[in-house]
Amino acid sequence: MYYFDHSATTPIQPAVLDLMNSFQSNVYGNPSSIHSQGRKARSIIENARKQVAKSIQANPNQIIFTSGGTEANNQVLWSMTHNDKKHVISNVIEHPAVIKVLQSLEPLGLEHTLVPVNKNGFVSVKDVENSIRDGTGLISVMLGNNEMGSIQPVKEIVEMAYEKRILVHTDAVQCLGKMKVDVSELGVDFLSLSAHKFYGPKGIGILYIKEKETLSSFMIGGNQESGLRAGTENVASIAGIGLAAELITTDLNQHIDQLNQFESQFKSGLKAFFPNAVFNGDPSNTLPGLVSVSFPGHRSDILLAKLDQANMAVSSGSACGAGDVKPSTVLSAMGINDDINISTLRFSFGSSNTIGQVDSLLTELKSILTNG
């Protein structure tokens, strides 16, 4: 199968898998134990912590390991229920791992405001600022959108929020390996990552915390992860995220160039035989290799199914089920009408792709769009 859905998940790097398999077989001590097997496991965890920290220009003691981006987001938002300021600002195209959590925390007294986005999927710093009130304690805005790839003005939001003593969290799950992620430049208080988005294992992520006293424990039990994430650590997966983060950031510029090449090849090739294609968003400020494109007159679920039959994996932002296609909430929030919305597919390229595969994708799309 040709895989063009890297924004959903990525294939694990062979070197990462080999490392994890080795540790699964040979390192079985509990990292909290003081014997040699426990110390070895602890050493592996701390080395991975250093690798992840270096990949985002953080200090190792600012990194805690989680089960993924969803848990990391949850922990930040749940922590706000213990804050004196219980108003959170986010936006209408944020991931469900933020929006649904905010909704679920309303019975606990946490209030939230979702600011709009413009036609290209960007949040306005001014809209965020205008939503601030006396009880605002946190602003949560993703760094790069999972459906559109729009890169949000997080640094500018932080600069505005800092003067008002408001914490800022960013979900950067889509970003490592597609852009420079530097917490010292961004200035955020919290940042979430998930290994399976950058060729690491599923089920492991990290939460960067600028100052640990701003965060409350979400998982209650032992004193693991500086008392902020209880439970015996998943040593092999932690080693996996460490190596995956190191590998993707070591070759960052090369990887970005490759993604840009695939994106350019795909867009120009598609326009050549389907000039009515609508590329959503502002390409000058989006994550490389992520293309949201609408095919007027064609339903996304049908296109997706035909590509799948041709052994080509892509995705749709629309929710498809029982013959009914529901418009993407992200595209709707950008003002895109339903007819265009339900004709939209997301193509997200990655290091597992080749120029030849992109050519094959274009050939198959041409056949589908021409022959119906």
Interval 41-55: pLDDT, tens: 999 999 999 999 999
DSSP state of 290: E
Give start-end residues of each CATH 3.40.640.10 domain in the chain. 14-250
Asked if the model's pLDDT at residue 5 lies above 80, the reply is yes
> What gap in Å lies between CA 141 and CA 73, rounded to an integer?
11
Q: Residue 320's pLDDT is what? A: 44
CB contact burial 140-172 (16+ within 10 A = b; e otherwise): bbbbbbbbbbbbbbbbebbebbeeeebbbbbbb
Q: Domain 14-250: state its class.
A: alpha beta
Sign of CA dihedral 278, 151, 8, 253: positive
Q: Residue 33's pLDDT is what? A: 95
Element (H, E) at 7: none
CATH architecture of 252-371: Alpha-Beta Complex (3.90)
Q: How do residues 255-267 score in pLDDT, each as one tens digit?
A: 999 999 999 999 9
How much is the average pLDDT of 308-335? Answer: 81
Q: How do residues 171-210 score in pLDDT, each as one tens digit?
A: 999 999 999 999 999 999 999 999 999 999 999 999 999 9
324 pLDDT tier (thresholds 50, 70, 90): low
Give start-end residues of each CATH 3.90.1150.10 domain in the chain. 252-371
Asked if the model's pLDDT at residue 322 lies above 50, the reply is no
Q: How do residues 91-120 score in pLDDT, each as one tens digit?
A: 999 999 999 999 999 999 999 999 999 999
CB contact burial 322-337 (16+ within 10 A = b; e otherwise): eeebebbbbbbbbebe
In the set 17, 219, 313, 320, the catalytic residue is 320
Element (H, E) at 314: none
Q: How do residues 340-369 score in pLDDT, each as one tens digit?
A: 999 999 999 999 999 999 999 999 999 999
Mapping DSSP to helix (H, G, I), strand (E, B) and coil, where does residue 292 land? strand
320 noted as active-site residue: yes
How much is the average pLDDT of 300-314? Answer: 97
Q: Report CA 315 to chain centroid distance, whole Å.
A: 15
